[in-house]
Amino acid sequence: MSQWLERHIPKMVLAPSFAAVLVFVYGFIIWTAWVSLTRSRLLPKYEIEGLIQYERLFNAPRWDTAMSNLFVFGTLFILISMVLGLMLAILLDQKIRTEGVLRTIYLYPMALSLIVTGTAWKWIMNPGLGIEAMVRGWGFESFTFDWVINPDKAIYAVVIAGVWQASGFVMALFLAGLRGVDGEIIKAAQVDGIPAWRIYTAIIIPSMAPIFLSAFIVLAHLAIKSFDLVIALTGGGPGYATDLPATYMYTMAFSRGDIGQAASSAMVMMAVVFAIIVPYLYSELRAKHD
């Protein structure tokens, strides 16, 4: 009996959450996929009509904008956050005295909600209130920083706010990684007279590959599901210049009563996530089998 329990208790404990995930994640993915094939408007309908919603989606210029924004935002956000985070981590790793204080300062933005970040940066970057007004007030009359209200640049303004929020967190990840590198190897390299930058590029950074991967996965999903930052910072504007797939889906489902269209955009978003996650899972699983 006790042996039986020992063998089955883990399964019994996991069963409820497994069942919940099955219904509320995978069940609703299937439900969304089904609805995306219908002509649902205000309320979901279940008669399948084919791929009409996907045709409409790919014909909509607003969806094109949303996808290219996701690409621009995602690439820059991930890249800049990683580079800045790594640099901050390396600089903090120089055994400086006030490390504890500095680490907390850089990590603090992560404690704020994206709504707060978005609202604060909206004011900071507003040409009439923020940086532009301040620098002009100092006498530099021709200074212009109007990204947040310029339809061609607004998405970069979103990147700035996103990077400010996330790079401290990435720094913490990398800092943990740096501390995990075997000190003996570094000392050996120092004894051999290898310059510090070579130690970083040839020894420390390559040995942190798993941290890069984790940071990438965390940042990528932050970028794809990014919604509140855009809503607070630009409201998707000017026009719909900073629309992202998530805000597009929200507008269709909740403002316009076009549930079928919202479901199809959600499915495409999921495909994007899969395109990133599946290679990751694949490499993880393969590594285990080796």
Question: Apex CA 170: angle with CA 167 and CA 176, to 5°?
Answer: 145
Site membership for other proteins, residue 237 (CB under 8 A) = yes
Give 33-72 as a DSSP string: HHHTTB---SS----B--SHHHHHHHH-HHHHHHHHHHHH
The dihedrals phi and psi of 40, each to the nearest 5 degrees, come to -60, 135
Binding other proteins (rule: CB under 8 A), the pick from 42, 191, 285, 287 is: 42
As measured in angstroms, the least distance from the Cβ of 115 to other proteins is 13
Binding other proteins (rule: CB under 8 A), the pick from 33, 110, 151, 272 is: 151
| Token output for 66 | 């949303």
Question: Apex CA 160: angle with CA 72 and CA 169, to 5°?
Answer: 100
Binding other proteins (rule: CB under 8 A), the pick from 27, 137, 180, 257 is: 257
The dihedrals phi and psi of 100, each to the nearest 5 degrees, come to -55, -45
From 61, 31, 240, select the one nearest 250 (Cα to Cα). Answer: 240
The dihedrals phi and psi of 119, each to the nearest 5 degrees, come to -65, -45
CA distance 154 to 79: 18
Binding other proteins (rule: CB under 8 A), the pick from 8, 187, 198, 256 is: 256
Stretch that binds other proteins, among 7-15, 22-30, 41-49, 183-191 (CB under 8 A): 41-49
CA distance 32 to 117: 31
The answer to whether the beta carbons of residues 73 and 244 sit under 8 Å apart is yes
Taking the least distance from each CB to other proteins, the nearer of 155 and 211 is: 155
Cβ neighbours of residue 24 closer than 8 Å, sequence gap 6 or more: none
Site membership for other proteins, residue 221 (CB under 8 A) = no
Stretch that binds other proteins, among 67-75, 171-179, 216-224, 236-244 (CB under 8 A): 236-244
As measured in angstroms, the least distance from the Cβ of 139 to other proteins is 20
One-letter identity of residue 87:
M
As measured in angstroms, the least distance from the Cβ of 44 to other proteins is 8
# residues contacting other proteins (CB under 8 A):
30
Stretch that binds other proteins, among 12-20, 92-100, 213-221, 232-240 (CB under 8 A): 232-240
Binding other proteins (rule: CB under 8 A), the pick from 36, 121, 240, 249 is: 240
Binding other proteins (rule: CB under 8 A), the pick from 1, 5, 25, 43 is: 43
Stretch that binds other proteins, among 102-110, 145-153, 160-168, 171-179 (CB under 8 A): 145-153
Site membership for other proteins, residue 60 (CB under 8 A) = yes
How many alpha carbons fall within 13 Å on the CB side of residue 13?
6
**For binding to other proteins (CB under 8 A), which residues are involved?**
41-43, 56, 59-62, 122, 126-128, 146, 148-149, 151, 234-235, 237-241, 251, 254-258, 261
